[in-house]
Structure 1
Amino acid sequence: MSPQPADLVQHVPDAPADPAGDAQWAATARQSLAHADARLCRRFEQGDNIERLLALRTRCVDQLIQQAWRRCLAGADGLSLFAVGGYGRGELFPRSDIDLLVLGEPHVQQASEAALARLFALLWDAGLPASHAVRSAAQCVQAAADQTVLTALIEARPLCVAAGAQQALARAVSPTLIWPARDYFLAKREELLLRHQRFGDTADNLEPDIKDGPGGLRDLNTLGWMALRAFGVGDIDALVGLGHLGLDEAAALKRERAVLARLRFGLHLVAQRAEERLRFDYQKALAERMGFADDAGNLGVEKMMQGFYRSAAVVRRISDRLLQRFEEQFDGEASPEPVGDGFSLRRGYLSADDPLWPHGDIARIFALFACWARTPQVRGLHSLTARGLAEMLDEIPAYTEVDAAVREQFIALLRGPRAVDTLARMARLGVLGQWIPAFAQVSGRMQFDLFHVYTVDQHTLMVLRNIGVFAAGRADERFSIAHEVWPRLRKPELLLLAGLFHDIAKGRGGDHSELGALDARAFCAAHGLSATDTDLVAWLVEQHLRMSVTAQKQDITDAEVIHRFAGLVGSRERLDYLYLLTCADIAGTSPKLWNAWKDRLLADLYFAARRALREGLEQPLPETERVQEARASVRELMRALGHADAVIERQFSAMPDESFVRFRPEQLVWQATSLMEVARGGTLVKARRIAPESDALEVFVHSPDRDGLFAAIVMTLDRAGYSIHRARVLDGPEDTIFDTFEVTPAGSFADGDTARLELLLRKALAGNILVLRPARRVIPRQLRHFRFAPRIEFIENAEHARTVLNLVAPDRPGLLADVAHVLRDQQLRVQDARIATFGERAEDQFQLTDRHDRPLTETSRQALRDALLACLEPDRTPGDPR
C-alpha cells in the first residue's frame, strides 16, 4: 500500500499567522520537504514504480503549497490557486519547476498584492522555488495567444480555488475562443519539428537531452497536449478507445515513458539540480545508482545509454504514426492513388490496399520497401500500414530462417533505386534489426568516448548515407576524388554490405573487425553471393580500419609504408572499395572529424598505393629515382608558370632533396615560388588554404635553424587558436629548416586569415624564441571524464640515427605546445613529427635527436620521460613508474 502524503510530509501548522512566524514555518516546511525527498530517493533506489514516485512528490508539494496559501491568503476572497505546466500534470521530478497560476480579477489582485508577495517569498524560503503568474480570466485569454502559455494553462489543476474559478479558466482557454484544435495541432507539430532540428534531428549524440531531445519526454507530452486539445482526453488509454492508438502502441508508450522518466528522476538526484541532459559529468554515477554494472563486453554506462537510445527510437516511431493519425482526423482521408503491387498513396503516404496487410509475410514487407524506393513522391508510410508493420515486427524472421527467394528480394533492394534510403527506413522501422539480428544488438549501442558521437546503428546509417553521396556521381567538395572512384566499382551493393557490417560486432568482446567479417561472410553466402564477392565484402569488413590507421599514424611518403599497404590491398579493385569505405566511415563518425586535410591525406595514400600496384610490388623505386621524377614534374609545372630553367634550378638547390619525396608536386611549386620572396638566410612564413571552401590551412616556414624553433612555431600556432594535425620537419641546405604544418581553427579567435597568421609567426620568430611559453588553457568539461595514464615509448631509428618517441595521452587544448616546450627544455631537436587525435586520445610521434644530431642516450630518455609525465600528470607522485 502506497503511503499517503502525511506519511512523507511532516505536519506543518497552516493556520493563518502573523508574518513574524513565517521564518519558523519555512524552516519546518523545508525540513519536511527534505525528509520527504529522502524517503522518495530511497524508494527510487529500491526500484519503486516511477509513476507512483512522481505522484507522491506532487502530493507532498501540493500539501505544503496549500498550507502556505492558507497561511498567507486565508481571508482573500476572489483569488484561486492552480498548478500549471508539468506540476499541473502531476509530474514533479526532484528538481522540476513548480509553476503556479493565481486567478483573480484585477482589483482583487491589487488588494492582495502584499499577501501574494509574502506567499511566494515563503515558498522560496521553504525550498519551493515557484514560478508564478497572476492573471484574471480575461488576461489568461490574452496571454494564451502564445501557444506555449496556452499549453501550460490547459493542464491547470486546482489547488485552492474559489467557486466557479475552474469553470472560468476552462472557458478562457476554450478552443471555441482561442486556438482551435487544428491550429493548435499544426503549431505544436511545427514546434516539435523545430525542436528536433535544434538537436540535429537525432537522439543519438553523446550527451542527449532526456526531456527535449528527439524521442524524449517532451515528445510524449506534446502528443498528450494534442490529444487534450483535440479530443478532451489526457490519457493514453483514452486514445485507444478513440481508435487512434492500438493496445500494443499504448503499452509501448507507457513502457518507454517509464524508462525515460526513471532516467530523469535519477539524473535530478545525481546532479542535484534540474539537469535534463545526460552529460558525461553524471552518466557513470547515474548508471551506478540505477544498478547498471560493467561486464566483459559492455560498461554499465553503455548499457544505460543503450536503454535510453532504444526507448527514444520507439517513442519517435510511434509518435510519427500518431501525428499522422491526428492529421487525418483534422483533414480527412483522401482518395487513394494506386502505385502498383497492391499499394496506393493517401495524401502522399504509402498505404497497403489490403487492410490485413502484411498477413505475416516478410515478402510482402520487402515489396513495400521496393515500391517505396521507386516512388519518390512518397511523404512517408501511412499510419495504418505502419501499425500493421509494427504489429508484425516481432514475427519477422531472420535471414537464416527463410527461403532463397526471400533473401533474393533483400539483395534486389540493395541493387535497386535509393538503396541507402531503403536501408535507413528499414532500420528506423525496426525491420533491419529483425532481418539481421546482429544489427539489433548494436541498435542504440553507444561507446563511452569522444571519438564516436553516434550510436553504432546511427553511425552505420551515416556511413551508408555517405556512400549514397558517392553514388550520386557528382563532385562533392568534402570528398575530392570519390566521384571519380565510384564509377569503377563492379558491384556497388558490395560496398553497401561492407558499410552495413563494418561495426556490427562491436560490444561482443574480441576484435570487432574479425567478428564482423565472419558475420558478413555468413550473410553473403546465405544470400547467394559468389565466393569472389563474399571474399571482398568480408575482407573490407576485416580491414576497414587499415587505410585510416596507415594514413594517420604512418608516414605515407615512405616507400616502404606504401608498399606494405599496397601489398595488403593486393588489387586496384580492393583499393577502390577500401578507399570509399574509409572516407564514408571517418566522415560518419563525427561531423567534426572529416576535413580537407583528411580528404587529401587519404587521396594521397590512394594514389600512392595505386601507383605501387601499377608498377609492381617486388621492388620499391629507389629514392634517388623518386627524387628525379618529382623534380621533373615540378619543373614542368614551374615552366608552365613562366619560370626559366635557371631560376627553377636555383630554387631547387635551396630545397632539401627529401622534400621532393615528402610533398606533392603542387606543394613543391608553392614552396619553390614562395622562396623567391626571401633572400638566402632570411625567414619565410607562408600560409594558404588547403581547399577553397575549407578552414584547414597549410603553413610553410623556412628559416635558419636554431634550437627551440619547432617549439616556437607550435606554441605560436597554439596561441593563435589553431590545432596542428600534421607536421613535416625537414633540414635544408646551409643549416636551414623547411617545416610544414597542416592546421585547423580550434578556437573562436582563429579566423582563418592567412595574412594575419603569417604576420603573427614572423613576429614571434623575429624575437627571442627561447622566452616563449605555452598558453594556459582550461580543459574542456567533456575531456575531464576521459583521463588515462599517458603511454611513452622510445624506438631506435638506426637508419636515420634518430630516436622515435611515441606518445599516447589524453588530448586537451595546448597539448602539443606543452610537449614541444618540454622537448625544447630538454635541449632536443625535432626532426619529424606526426600528430593524430582520436576523440579524447592524442597519438603523436616525434623523431628526435640531441643538440649534436645524435640519438638519445638512456639517460636522456629517462629525463624526457620524467619531464613529460610531470607536464601531462602534474599531480603524479615523483618517482611513480609509468
Structure 2
Amino acid sequence: MPQTANADDRLFDDNPRAPWDERRPALLQQAKSWLADERKRIEQAHRQGGSGTEVVNQLTLMVDRLMLSLFRAAVSGLPGEGPSPCALFAIGGYGRAELNPKSDIDLMFYYRARDRAQVEVLSERLLYLLWDLGLEVGYSVRTGDDCLEMAARDITARTALLDTRFLCGSPELCREFDRNVYRQVRDRNTKSFIRGKVEEREVRIRKYGSSVFLLEPNIKEGEGGLRDIHSALWLLMVKYKCRSIRELLHKGVLTEEETKRIAAFLDYLWRIRNELHFLSGRKNDQLHFDKQEKIARFLGYRDNRKAPAVEQFMQDYYLHATQVEHETSLLFNRVLERDRRPTGFGYFPRRELEHGFYVLRDELRIARPEVLAEEPRLLMRAFLLSHRQGVTLSVALKTAIREHLHLINDHFRRDRQVNRDFFEILRGKGCSAVLRDMHHLRFLNRYIPEFERIYCKVQHDAYHIYTVDIHSLFAVEEIEKLWQGEYAESKPLLTSVANDIEKRELLLLAVLLHDIGKGEGKNHSEKGAVLVRTIARRLGLNKEDSSRLEFLVLHHLDMAHISQRRDLHDPLLIEQFARTMEMTETLKMLFLLTFADLKAVGPDVWSEWKGFLLQELYEKTYEALERGNFTADARSERVRNRKRKVFDALVEDYGERRVKTALRAMGNRYLLSHRSHEIIEHLRVTFERGKDTLGLKIEHLPDRKYSQLIISTLDTPGLFSKIAGVMAANRINILGARIYTHADGEVIDLLQVASSAGEIIDSPARWSKVEEDLRAVLEGRVRVESLVGKSRSRGFVVEKARPRYPTRIEFDNRISMNYTVVDIFTHDKVGLLYDITRTFNEMNLYIGVSKISTKVDQVADTFYLQDIFGQKITEGQRLDEIRARLIAVLDSESAEG
C-alpha cells in the first residue's frame, strides 16, 4: 500500500491571499496539465510491463498528491481562518489504496457540527475542481453521529467505513474518527455484520453468475474476482479486530503463505483490470469478447496449434478465478466455523462411520487426515460416504483431500474398490453434486487425467456460455433432472426414455466425458472416442460397455446435426441412421446425451423447435430399429394406401375428378413424407383457394413455441425467396421449410415460424399484415426488395461485440439421392434467408427443403438443392461458383442493413 503523499509536496503555484475565484482557473489548468502527464507516464509504465500492484500504487499516489495540493489550495482563505475544519478521508477502493485507471474516487469530509458552514465551502471548492478535471468522484460530508447512523442502517456504508484512509486536514479529527467511529463500526454487532456479508455475497454471485466459468466474467463482482477477496478480508478484520492485511499477519490470523497468495491474486486481477480500463477509456469490469482478445495479446499470449491466444488467456483466467474462489471460501469458512461452534452439552451428536469418518452437523469429517496417506483409496471413499449420508464435506476434509491429491496415480486409478465406489456414486441419486465437489477439489482431474485437458477450457464464441468442464457437469445435471421428474410435463418422452435406461452409470459417464476430446484440438469427437478407450480400460468396464461408451462419445453430435440440418422425411436417411445405431438402447442413450448436451450449452441454445426435431428423429429411428428389416418397406403400397385415404376423405366435398387430378400431380416424395391427414389438410387449403393468388392457413403450436404455415399458390420464379423476404420484412423467423411443386404447377410450402425471441406470434393484426404483403408481392404490386430494404432501415442492433468467423459453405452429395445438400455457416442479420434464397434463384437453383438453425448470433442454414433440370449439382466448377456467389452476398456490408 503506498504511503499518503507528503504534506509539503507542492504541485501547483498558488497565491493563497488572492480571492478563490481569481485563483481557481490557474489551479485548474495546472492540475489538468500535471494529471495528463502523470497518466501518460503511468500508462507507459503499464505498457512496459509494470505489475498490477506497481501501477495501482502509482495511480493511488498520483491521486493522493493531487488531493493534498488541491485541498491545501481550497482550504486557504476560508472564512474564519484557523485549523482545517475537517479531516479528509479516502474511503472504499481509494481508501484501500487500490485505484485502477478509471476507478471511482470516494471521499469523506469528516467534521464537527459547529464547522458546517466552513466545510460546505471547502467541500464545494474541492469537489468542483475534481469534477472539472473529469474525475469520477463520490463524496459524503459527515459528522461522527452521521457515520454511526449510516453504518447502523446500511451494511454497504458500514463496509465502506472499514476502508478509510486519512489523507489530509485536521489530525485531531482523524484521531477522533478513529476513536469514536471506526472502532465502533468495526467492533459492534460482529455476528450481524458477518451474517449480512455472507448473504450479500450470495446475492452478488447470483447476480453476476453463479459460476466462475462464465463467458464474459466480471473481474470485480463475479465469483473468483476482486470482491471475493475484499469480502473475505472484511470478515477477518471485523472478526479479529484488525485494520489491514499486515495486522492480520502479525496477529497470526493469516499465515505468511496466505498473505503472499492474496497479494499475488490481487496483482494478477489488477493488471487485467488496468488494461481493461485503459482499453475501455472508462470504468469497466466486464471481460467482453472484444476486450479478451486485446488483453490476451497485451499479456503476451500467442496462437498455437492447441488453441488461439484468447482461449489460452481465458483458460488461465478461470484457473486463477478457481484459486481465488477456493482460497476465499476457506477464509469465509474459517470465520463462520468459529461462529458455529456448539455452546451446549449434547448439541449435534457425532455419528461414527467407517475408517475414522464421522458426521457432525450435516458435514462429513475425518478424525485423522493422515489416514488418507496411509490408505489413499479413502480419497474416493470420502466422496461416496458424503453421497450415501447426504451430507457435505467439511472444509477440513476438503483441505485434506486437496493436500493428498499427489497420491492419485495409475495404481489408484485401476484399483477395483476405488472404481466400484466411483460407479456407486454415479448410480446414486444426486451424483452431480458429488461430481461438482470432485471437480472443485481437482480430484476429478487426477482421477481421470484426460479431464484435466478440458479443465477451464474456453471456446471463444457466443454460443458456449461455460467452459468445457463446467458444461459437461451441467449436462450431467440435466440427465438427473429428467430422473427427478422436473421435465415430466414439458418433456414426457425424454423423461420416459430416461427412466427406461438400464445402465444409468454408463449414460452419466458418457455425458461427463462427451467433450473430453476438446482438450486435443479439432475433431474432438474422434479424439474423445480414442481417449475413452483408455479411460474405460482403467475403470474396468467390460467390452460391451466400453464399446458403447466409445460409440456415444464418437457420435454425440450426430443427432443434433441430423435433426436440425437434414431432411427427416427422407426414409433413406432414417434407415442409414438406424443402421448406425444398431440397438435401441444405444439410440436411447444418444437421444438423452444430445438433449443434455444442448440444454447445458446455455439458456439461448435449447428451443422447443429443436426439441421437436430431435424427438422426430428419435421416434422415426426407433420405429425403423423395431421394424428390423429396413428394406421391407413397400413404398409403392404405402403411396397407394395414402392416395386411397385422401381420396375417400375429400371426394364428397370436392368431387372425384378434382381430387384425382390433384393426386396424380403429386410426387412420391411428397406422398411418402406426409401422413394422410396432413395431405388432406394441405389439399383443403389449395381447393378453398380456388383461382385466388394465395391460400394461407396458420396453426399455432404453443407447446412447441412455433407456428405452422401452409402456403398454397401457383409456382412463379423465385417464389420461396419472395416468401422469405416477406417474413424478414415482418420480423418473422423461419425455422424450417419444406417446398413442394406438383406437376400441375400447384405449390404447397410448409413453414415453421416464430418471433426473433423464439416465441409464438399470435397477433391477428400482424398475420393480416403478413398475408397482405405476401399477396401484394405474389401479384406483382409490391417489390419484395423494397419491403426488405425498409425492414433493414429500421435497424438491426447487435447488443455486444462477438467473435466473427468467416462465412463457410459446405456441399454434400452423398446424404440424399435426389438433392445436393448445402450447409451455410454465417452470422445472423435481417433478411439473411432472403439473401440466400434470392441468390439461389438468380443462379437457377431449385430449393426442396430448408432447415434453419440459429446459435445465438450465428446460423447454420441447410438447403436441399437441384438444378433447373431437377438434378443434383455435382460439377466442381459449378459448386465453386455457388460458394463464391454466396460468400460475396453474405459478407458484403450492403447485405447487413
Same fold (TM over 0.5): yes
Work out the CA distance in 2 between the residues paired with 1:437 and 1:10. Answer: 61
- CA deviations 1:484-530 (Å, max 9, x no partner) are 22243231111111112211121323422222222211111122111
Q: Provide Cα deviations, 1:236-268, integer angstroms capped at 9, x if missing partner.
A: 565567676666655544433332222212211
In structure 1, what is the equivalent of residue 22 of structure 2? 20
Is 2:700 the counterpart of 1:683?
no
Q: Give the drift of 1:277.
A: 0.5
Q: Please, which moves more after superposition, 777-786 or 440-449?
A: 777-786
Q: Look up the match of 1:698.
A: 708
Q: Which residue of 1 aligns with 2:444?
A: 432
Corresponding position: 1:350 with 2:352: no
Partner residue, 1:304: 313
Match of 1:195 among 200, 204, 209: 204
Distance 2:158 2:264 in 1: 28
Residue identity matched to 1:696: Y
Q: Distance in 2 between matches of 1:167 and 1:649?
A: 103
Aligned to 2:111: 104
| 8 Å CA contact 2:408, 2:446 repeated in 1 | yes
Change beyond 3 A, Cα 1:433–1:864? closer
Counterparts in 2 of 1:488-527, with a 5 A limit? Answer: 488-527=500-539
Kept in 1, the 8 Å contact 2:854–2:860? The answer is: yes
Q: By how many angstroms is 1:855 displaced?
A: 8.0
Name 1:281's counterpart in structure 2. 290
Distance 1:153 1:831, change over 3 A: same
1:786 correspondence with 2:794: no
Q: Percent identity?
A: 26
Indicate if the aligned counterparts of 1:783 and 1:840 stay in contact, CA closer than 8 A.
no
Equivalent residue number for residue 740 of structure 2:
730
Name the CA shift for 1:538/1:663 in 2 (closer, same or farther; >3 Å).
same
Matches within 5 A, 1:773-852: 773-774=787-788, 775-776=791-792, 777-782=795-800, 785-791=803-809, 800=818, 805-823=822-840, 830-848=847-865
More displaced stretch, 705-714 vs 595-604: 705-714
| Count of residue pairs brought into register by the alignment | 864
Q: Does 1:715 align with 2:725?
A: yes
In 2: Cα distance, 1:840 partner to 1:246 partner: 48
Secondary structure at the counterpart of residue 220 of structure 2 = coil
Partners of 1:241 and 1:65 in 2: CA distance? 31
Alpha-carbon distance change, 599 to 169 in structure 1, aligned in 2, over 3 angstroms: same
Helix, strand or coil: the match of 1:785?
coil
Question: Is 1:422–2:440 an aligned residue pair?
Answer: no
Q: Give the structure 2 partner of residue 338 of structure 1.
A: 351
**How large is the Cα RMSD of the aligned pairs?**
3.7
Distance apart, 1:668 and its partner CA: 5.6
Separation in 1, partners of 2:642, 2:229: 64
Q: Deviations over 1:159-198 (max 9, x none)?
A: 1131332344342355479962211122221121111112
1:4-43 alignment to 2 at 5 Å?
11-13=11-13, 16=16, 18-43=20-45
Farther-moved stretch of structure 1 (712-721 vs 247-256) = 247-256
Instruction: Indicate the SS of the match to 2:516.
Output: coil
Structure 2 residue aligned with 1:73: 75
Distance apart, 1:841 and its partner CA: 3.8
Matched, 1:366 2:380: yes
CA distance in 2 between counterparts of 1:10 and 1:860 reads 77
Amino acid at match of 1:335: F
TM-score (norm. length: structure 2)? 0.87
C-alpha distance in 2 between matches for 1:577 and 1:323: 41
Classify the secondary structure of the residue corresponding to 1:332: coil
In the aligned structure 2, how far is the partner of 1:822 from the partner of 1:299?
34
Q: Specify the SS of the correspondent of 2:796.
A: coil
The change in CA–CA distance for 1:870 and 1:415 in structure 2 (over 3 A counts) is closer
How far is the alpha carbon of 1:664 from its aligned partner? 6.1
**1:374 aligned counterpart, secondary structure:** helix
User: What is the Cα deviation at residue 681 of structure 1?
Assistant: 4.7
State the SS of the aligned residue for 2:348.
Answer: coil
Matches within 5 A, 1:474-873: 475-477=487-489, 479-616=491-628, 619=631, 621=633, 623-628=635-640, 646=652, 656=666, 658-663=669-674, 671=682, 681=692, 683-692=694-703, 694-732=704-742, 734-747=744-757, 752-753=761-762, 755-769=764-778, 770-772=782-784, 773-774=787-788, 775-776=791-792, 777-782=795-800, 785-791=803-809, 800=818, 805-823=822-840, 830-848=847-865, 868-873=886-891
Q: Secondary structure at the match of 2:526?
A: helix
* Aligned-residue offset at 1:131: 1.7
Matched position secondary structure for 2:734: strand
Give the aligned partner of residue 880 of structure 1: none
User: Equivalent residue for 2:120?
Assistant: 113
Once the two structures are TM-superposed, the CA of residue 422 in structure 1 deviates from its matched residue by: 1.8
> Is contact 1:399-1:435 (8 Å) kept?
no
- Give CA deviations for 1:376-400 in whole Å, capped at 9, x if unaligned: 3x3x332222222233344444566
CA drift at 1:71: 1.0
Offset, 1:780 = 1.3
1:375 aligned to which of 389, 401, 408: 389
Q: 1:142 to 1:664 in 2, by over 3 A?
A: farther
1:69–1:119 CA contact under 8 A, matched in 2? yes
Higher mean C-alpha deviation, range 317-326 or range 175-184: 175-184
Partner of 1:131: 138
Maintained 8 Å contact 1:14/1:67: no
Aligned equivalents of 1:360, 1:78: Cα separation in 2: 68
Deviates more, 1:859-868 or 1:569-578: 859-868
- Whichever residue aligns with residue 82 of structure 1, its letter is F
**Deviation larger for 192-201 or 712-721:** 712-721
CA distance in 1, matches of 2:722, 2:467: 40
- The AA in structure 2 aligned to 1:35 is D
CA, structure 1 residues 368+619, in 2 after alignment: closer, same or farther (shift >3 Å)? same
Q: 1:534 to 1:440 in 2, by over 3 A?
A: same
Partner of 1:85: 92
| Greater shift in the superposed pair: 527-536 or 651-660 | 651-660
1:262 aligns with 2:271: yes
Runs (5+) with no aligned partner, structure 1: 878-882
> How many angstroms does 1:273 deviate by?
1.7
Distance 1:237 1:646, change over 3 A: farther
Shift of 1:456: 0.5
Contact preservation (8 Å) 2:715, 2:747: yes
Q: Which residue is 2:154 aligned to?
A: 146
Q: Cα–Cα, structure 1 residues 876 and 160, in superposed 2: closer, same or farther, change >3 Å?
A: same
- The equivalent of 2:217 in structure 1 is 208
CA shift for structure 1 position 405: 2.8
* CA 389–852 in structure 1, closer or farther in 2 if over 3 Å, else same: closer
1:180 matches 2:189: yes
The alignment partner of 1:132 has SS state of strand
SS in 2 for 1:481: helix
Q: Which residues in structure 2 correspond to 1:52-71 (within 5 Å)?
A: 52-71=54-73
Q: Would the alpha carbon gap of residues 223 and 720 (structure 1) be closer, same or farther in structure 2, given more than 3 Å must change?
A: farther
User: CA separation in 2, counterparts of 1:246 and 1:721?
Assistant: 61
Task: Identify the range of structure 1 (68-77 vs 152-161) with the bigger mean alpha-carbon deviation.
Answer: 68-77
Matching residue of 2:81: none
**Aligned-partner Cα distance in 2 for 1:246–1:729:** 72
Structure 2 residue 482 is matched with structure 1 residue 470 = yes
Task: Name the SS of the counterpart of 1:362 in structure 2.
Answer: coil
State the distance in 2 between where 1:576 and 1:862 align: 40
Shift of 1:105: 3.6
Select between 553-562 and 352-361 the one with higher mean Cα deviation.
352-361
Contact 2:187-2:238 at 8 Å conserved across structures? no
Indicate conservation of the 8 Å contact 1:346/1:382, yes or no: no
Q: Select between 74-83 and 615-624 the one with higher mean Cα deviation.
A: 615-624
